[in-house]
Amino acid sequence: MDITIRKIKTEDHYSIECMTKKAFWNLNMPGCDEHYLVHRIWNEPNYVPSVSSLAEAGEVIVGVILYTKCKVETVNGDFPVLTFGPLCVDPEYQNKGIGGKLLVESMKLAKQYDYKGILICGVPTYYPKFGFKTADTFGITMPDGSNFDAFMGYELQENALSEHKGKFYEPESLDCDIHDEEYVRQLEEFDKNYPYMEKKVLPGQWR
Ligand SMILES: CC(C)(COP(=O)(O)OP(=O)(O)OC[C@H]1O[C@@H](n2cnc3c(N)ncnc32)[C@H](O)[C@@H]1OP(=O)(O)O)[C@@H](O)C(=O)NCCC(=O)NCCS
């Protein structure tokens, strides 16, 4: 199967949102909100279209990785870094190397554009094989000072993160609280624009 990795055009947005819904539906909670997150990222001033990428099999969009600018607050001021998310692949195309290809190709782009490092909260068993290390390795914590296995970083330039210890902040506009009634109401309204999928309570859901 030939897979092409390329940058994202405005006309790809709706198909990406549909694919994202499929990839996350019932995975971490009954239903999902990742397609809503993707929709909000397009208008986020910190969105980085030059690095964000999609994967295509023929003319079908089968994967995506979206980057946004974030910062580490250090004693010497803010240090700009990237984060990504969602990274997802259509369930019918998973485990064929597409997620890995999206990650590796987009990280090459990030380096070309002179970004220094990447910090993420993601699946702790997936990213270490691509060189990600837990953020405590670099002396970087979440805003509340915490560290956990899912909070990981990657240095695009040597020692870029370890020389900028501090607290990691993501854009506030991307915050979401699935226990907030108003957020859930907005999500349900938004989801009406996408193909119907049945919500299920399944083992392993944690949100
Ligand atoms: C996680 C995801 C992006 C990986 O993409 P993919 O194209 O399926 O993965 P690849 O083919 O590149 O890599 C396959 C390898 O990753 C592992 N893997 C896939 N999904 C994984 C997961 N959720 N957790 C841990 N390992 C995972 C596979 O076991 C396989 O391991 P192996 O190489 O040792 O056999 C994709 O499975 C996905 O979209 N999942 C649902 C959404 C999600 O969880 N996104 C990540 C949020 S941080």
Q: Which of 166, 69, 163, 164 is nearest to 118 (CA)?
A: 69
Look at ligand 1, atom 4, and give the residue with the nearest C-alpha: 99
Residue 175 has pLDDT above 90, yes or no: no
Quick one: which atom of ligand 1 is closest to the CA of 95?
11
- The answer, yes or no, to whether any atom of ligand 1 lies below 6 A from the CB of 62, is no
Look at ligand 1, atom 7, and give the residue with the nearest C-alpha: 99
The whole-number average pLDDT for the span 132-145 is 98
Q: What is the pLDDT of residues 63-87, one digit of tens each?
A: 999 999 999 999 999 999 999 999 9
Q: What is the pLDDT of residues 114-126, one digit of tens each?
A: 999 999 999 999 9
Residue 25 has pLDDT above 90, yes or no: yes
Rounded CA-CA distance 33/188 in Å is 9
Rounded CA-CA distance 71/78 in Å is 6
Q: Could you tell me if residue 194 is left (phi over 0), alpha (psi between -120 and 50 degrees) or otherwise beta?
A: beta
- The answer, yes or no, to whether any atom of ligand 1 lies below 6 A from the CB of 126, is yes
Rounded CA-CA distance 144/71 in Å is 15
CATH superfamily of 3-172: Gcn5-related N-acetyltransferase (GNAT) (3.40.630.30)
Quick one: which atom of ligand 1 is closest to the CA of 97?
11
CB 134 within 8 A of CB 171: no
Domain map of the chain by residue range? 3-172
Rounded CA-CA distance 201/205 in Å is 8
Confidence of residue 58 (pLDDT cuts 50, 70, 90): very high
Q: What is the pLDDT of residues 26-42, one digit of tens each?
A: 999 999 999 999 999 99
Q: What percent of the chain has pLDDT over 90?
A: 95
